Every structure is written in structure tokens, then in C-alpha cells.
Homo-oligomer: A and B are copies of this chain.
Amino acid sequence: MNSRFVSMSRRTASWLSAPGMETAVALSSRVRLARNLRGLEYPHSANGDTLERVVTYVAAGRERSPKLAESAYYRGLDLTELDSDFLVERHLISPAFTESDDHKATLIDPTEQVSIMVNEEDHLRVQAIVPGLNVRSAFKIADTYDDELCAHLEIDYDPDFGFLTACPTNVGTGMRASTLLHLPGLVLTREIDLVIARITKLGLAVRGFYGEGSDVLGNLFQISNQTTLGVSEDETLDNIELITRQIIDEELVARRRLISEAGEQIEDKIWRAFGILKYARSLSSEEVMNMLSAVRLGVSLGRIEFLSLSQVNELLLLSQPAHLQMYYDEEMDPTRRDVVRADLVREKLRAADPRSEP
């Protein structure tokens, strides 16, 4: 197969492995900025020539910026479908971005904290992702890249409205800040629907693991702002951070309640999930996320002491379809993937000091 991402697949994404704040609940924080080049039609209405000019301008801007020049640069046409799926699973590009290869490019910084999509919904989408709850740090990182773009390209900015974007919902800051949260406690206590209703009323969106339009898998929820006009970046970041902290507190209360009111059932659920992961010979990607969710709960509750949260996070990442194929450097049909996924999960769990099992 020899994809350029084989070696990347064998290390955990930094946003999942590095230490962070509130990692018992918050997997990651992300900020993306929507930017456009002045005087060029937005991607949805632009013709091929225009889109190609966008790519050319960005490539040239990258050459002029020592910081941007350090990032890897991929033309859409150079990526296979599997490469694209891999980058989506790694949360470096969006699912929508993979729908066509034409006139697209992606920049990824060496630490994998920052990626820039060229000709997604906007000409430029800069994204920074960090572990745990820390939207402000994600913003700072994205902001330094935004400064580079503004210094080396002509970015569309209106003194009244702010940044101009393809979709009116992004005009203003052009920023979306989000946190990825693991909420098994709220799901098991059935409080999640109330929490989602409240968050939605506060003007935030709740989505699944892969963002917009994706299903909730493994009790992973993404919370993000909807408003970009008439608010500052600071206000948005404060708001996301505040509401995320509230949800984290509610999740931790729910976990404690579960343990005190249904401790034996919860332990049973956690350890059965661990037993299945440790011994199954075939695991679908949906099942593995659900089982890992229970194991992650077990680790965060101190019930599974010989695994760390980042080991569980690594498995969440690696067991995804494109990651599996990259990791083993082999294209596989779904049935084969399920078998290989189970092999990989077993191997990783076995490596995690089995003698310390209770």
C-alpha cells in the first residue's frame, strides 16, 4: 500500500495522548477559523479556475511564511480515498472536505496540532486541536497561524462585520470552538437529553464524534458555538469553556451517583466490556467504540488501574477503519477489518501489564 500516512498512523494524535485538563471527561478542545481570499468567489459558487487560483495563492503564501513552510502540504489529488478517510478519523480534515479531490489542498503542521483546509466551504479553514479542556490554548495556536495567513495572503475582512465567510452563520469571528466530551454517566443516568436540550437553548450545538452530521458513538459528544457575529472570540471561548465545565461537573456527579446507586451493575458493565475487548476475535467499529467507552469510564473511575486514559484514547483512534488499514499498511474489506481490529485491541490490552489485573 505504502501510503505516506503509515508512520503517522503508528503514533497517537498529540491531541489524544498529551496530558491535558479535565481529561476524565474532555478528550480535546478545538478551534477552527474560516477565512477567505479577497476578490475571489467562495468555493460553492467558484469555477475550477478560481478554485485553482486559491490553491496557487495559498501555496505561494506558504512559501513566503517560514512557519507555514514547515507544515506538510498535500494536494487533494495526491491523496487516496483511504488517506482522506485517515485524516478525517484523525480530525485533521472534515468529512465534507473529502467529497471531491479537485482544487483542494491540506496543510498539516509537524505536531499535528494545526491543519489548514484549502477550498472546503471557505477558501481557508484553519484548525487547532489540543488535548483536554483548553479552548483558549487551541485558539492561541490557531491564531498564530491565522496571523501568518493574514501576513502573507489578502484575507477578506470587513470592518463592520468582521471576517466574511461562505455561510452567513460564520461571518464575524469566523470561529467555531468545540470540545469533545465523553459523557457515559449522563447517558447511563438518562440525563443526557435534558443536558442537550439546555445546551441547545443556550445557542450551542451538540454533535457526534466526527462533528456535523455524525452520529453519537461511544458516548462522545462535541459541543460547539453557533454564533459568530456580534461576539468577540474571547466571549465565545469563555462561553464554551464555562458551559463545558458545567457539563463536566454534571458528568462527574452522574458518575458518582451511578457508583453509589448501581455500583455493581456499573462494575459489571465496565469489566464485561473489558473482557470482550480482551478476548473477542471480531469487533465492529461501532462495538469497539461502545466497549471502549465503558472501559474509559472504568479507567476514569479508578476501577481499571492498569490502563491509562491515553491508552484508551489511542485505541479509540487506532481502531477506526482507515487507521487500522494504515497501521497494518494493507487495504481490507469490512469483515477482515473486524478481525484485525480485534487482533490489535487484544495486542494492545495484553501489553498493558496483565499481571496487575484484579
Residues of A within 8 A of B (CB): 264-265, 267-268, 271-272, 274-282, 339, 342, 354
Give me the 10 closest cross-chain CB pairs, A-B, nearest first: A275-B279, A275-B275, A268-B281, A271-B279, A268-B282, A267-B281, A272-B280, A275-B276, A274-B279, A271-B281
| Residue in chain B with minimal CB distance to A303 | B281
* Whole-angstrom CA separation of A274 from B281 in the bound complex: 12
- Can you pick out 28 interface pairs between chain A and chain B where the beta carbons lie within 8 Å of each other? A264-B281, A264-B282, A264-B339, A265-B282, A267-B281, A268-B280, A268-B281, A268-B282, A268-B342, A271-B279, A271-B280, A271-B281, A272-B275, A272-B276, A272-B279, A272-B280, A272-B281, A274-B275, A274-B279, A275-B275, A275-B276, A275-B277, A275-B278, A275-B279, A275-B280, A276-B276, A278-B279, A354-B354
**Chain B CB within 10 Å, residue with most, of A271, A272, A277, A279:** A279
Count copies of this chain in the complex.
2
With A268-B282, A275-B276 known, 20 other A-B pairs at CB within 8 A are: A264-B282, A264-B339, A265-B282, A267-B281, A268-B281, A268-B342, A271-B279, A271-B280, A271-B281, A272-B275, A272-B276, A272-B280, A272-B281, A274-B279, A275-B275, A275-B278, A275-B279, A275-B280, A278-B279, A354-B354
User: How far does the Cβ of A13 sit from chain B's closest Cβ, in whole Å?
Assistant: 28
Nearest to A342 among chain B residues (CB) is B268
Q: How far is the CA of A282 from the CA of B274 in the complex (A)?
A: 14
Q: Which of A272, A278, A280 has the most CB of B within 10 A?
A: A272
Residue of A267, A277, A280, A281 with most partner-chain B CB within 10 A:
A281
How far does the alpha carbon of A281 sit from the alpha carbon of B304 in the complex, in Å?
A: 13
A277's nearest neighbour on chain B, judged by CB, is B275
Cβ distance A157 to chain B, nearest Cβ, rounded Å? 57
Q: Note all chain B residues with C-beta closer than 8 A to A277.
A: 275
Distance in angstroms between the alpha carbons of A52 and B325 in the assembled complex: 77
Cα–Cα distance between A339 and B266 once the two chains are bound (Å): 12
A272 to B346, CA, bound (A): 12
- In the complex, what residues of B have CB within 8 A of residue A342's CB? 268
Give A233 to B318 CA distance when docked, in angstroms: 64
List B contacts of A278 (CB < 8 A).
275, 279
Cα A272 to Cα B265 in complex, Å, equals: 19
Bound Cα distance A264, B343 (Å): 12
Residue of B nearest to A281 (CB): B268
By a CB distance below 8 angstroms, the chain B residues around A271 are: 279-281
Contacts of A268 in B (CB 8 A): 280-282, 342
Q: How far is B49's CA from A56's CA once the two chains are assembled, in angstroms?
A: 108
The distance from the CB of A301 to the nearest CB of chain B, in whole angstroms, is: 13
Q: Specify which chain B residues have a CB less than 8 angstroms from the CB of A276 in the assembled complex.
A: 272, 275-276
Set of chain B residues within 8 Å of A274, measured between Cβ atoms? 275, 279
- In this complex, what residue of B is CB-closest to A280? B272
The complex places the Cα of A187 from the Cα of B250 at a distance, in Å, of 47
What residue in chain B is nearest A350 (Cβ atoms)? B357
Measured between alpha carbons, how far is A210 from B246 in the docked complex, in Å? 56
| Cα A101 to Cα B354 with chains together (Å) | 51
Tell me the nearest residue of chain B to A283, going by C-beta. Answer: B268
Give CA–CA (A275, B279) in the complex, Å. 5
Give A9 Cβ to nearest chain B Cβ, in Å: 24
